[in-house]
Structure 1
Amino acid sequence: MIWSSEDVARDVVRRQGAGMSVVRVAEAVAQAAVRERETAEEPRSPRPVERGLVASDPAELAAMWAARHAEWRRVQALMAASGWAVYEPERDSAGSAWAAEREARREQALAAHAAFQEQRREAADEVRAEVWVGAGPGRLLRQAAARAGMTPQEVLEQLASRVVVREDGAVSVEPFIPSR
């Protein structure tokens, strides 16, 4: 599951901002503004940008800091409007709604991934084959299928489901009458 820059910023600000005072939130807004400005200038910079061990797309980094700056400003405005001395993420209705939405998307992605993995496990046990049957046996197969009101593929599926492999490796099928 891929989160947008805004999703990541909201998550980071909720976690980092928990218990922060108005002064510390103002400092976070100022720091995010500086980082946003710096990262916005980097893609236009003629000099190569070194990031140490982490190499990332400068435009992506700029978008991330722009989103964080916007989220810190939103939290600062919320605190000022609500008269909060300390940021409490659980009282932030918009932030809580976004967090619940992200969690729901995460749960959906995990469920979809689990279902996909289960399908892969089941598919690993299946065998798909394309069978070319000669003219003589093919004619007999079509006749048996027509008498049973089935397609030749359905008769072959029933035939394959009755295969017995003995200890010596011999493969056989007991006689049966194809039926729906």
Structure 2
Amino acid sequence: MSGGTTLREVNALSREEFVERFGSLFEHSPWVAWRAWEERPFGSVAELEAALHRAVQEASREEKLALIRAHPELAVPEGDLTPESEREQRSAGLDGLEEGERKEFLRLNRAYRERFGFPYVVCVREHTKDSILEDARRRLAGEREEEMENALGEIAKISSLRLRDMLEGDDGE
């Protein structure tokens, strides 16, 4: 693990320390880490990741909706972005859009939220700004339950990438 942290040290963290360390993996939703902590000890990074994802899967429908709704709109400069979201959106070029692109993102954000009641969530690190627009248009035609599942799947990808960034170089000790 980066910074010399081992799984043994992660397993020794108090619940509060664990949430402080891993709470940011899920946008404004430290409850995910709070619940995953109960599955310690983790034998590998994969077990830690699975515990975090299981905490979301086992959450109530209302909690899942709250988690989805905690995600920011894409390409909205005045949004309440966490440092992680800001970096991710910047990596996809969403911080340097031309006026026409920005208007299209805003239009799609609004249409998506009006249709489904939550923001369009995508793992931007797997996309370019053009592929994000294409995906948003495609998903806008979906059904609400399907889109909830899509959003939760994207959140799982986002959190997995964030976890790997945090623990880069782990040898599974």
- Bigger Cα Rg: 1
Q: TM-score, normalised by structure 1?
A: 0.24
1 or 2 for the larger relative contact order (CA 8 Å, sep ≥6)? 2
